[in-house]
Amino acid sequence: WCLWQAVQTQWRTAGLGGVIGLDYGEVRKEAADLGIEWNLRTKRKIRALEQMERMRINGGNKQSGDHDG
């Protein structure tokens, strides 16, 4: 939860108010700063939360993001 809260300023935006997804380079840096291991389990959790948030923000319009990592 701490990582999710910490990365809420790391969204990549698309046009007028839509979001594409999180900047995973910054998410990994933030995880390291918090002492959270960046592994497959952590990545899956963040991606699940990211997908739900994108759908909420974009009104259900799924947009694919540039996911590095």
Q: Give the model's pLDDT for residue 66.
A: 44
Residue 36 pLDDT: 93
Q: What confidence score (pLDDT) does residue 60 get?
A: 64
Residue-level pLDDT at 48: 92
HSE-CB at 58 with a 13 A cutoff on CA atoms is 21
The DSSP element (H or E) to which 21 belongs, if any, is strand 18-22
Q: Could you report the per-residue pLDDT of 11-69, keeping only the tens digit for each?
A: 877 777 677 888 899 899 999 999 999 999 999 999 998 888 888 877 765 544 444 44
pLDDT at 10: 82
Phi/psi of residue 32, nearest 5 degrees: -60, -45
**Residue 45: CB partners within 8 Å, gap ≥ 6?**
none
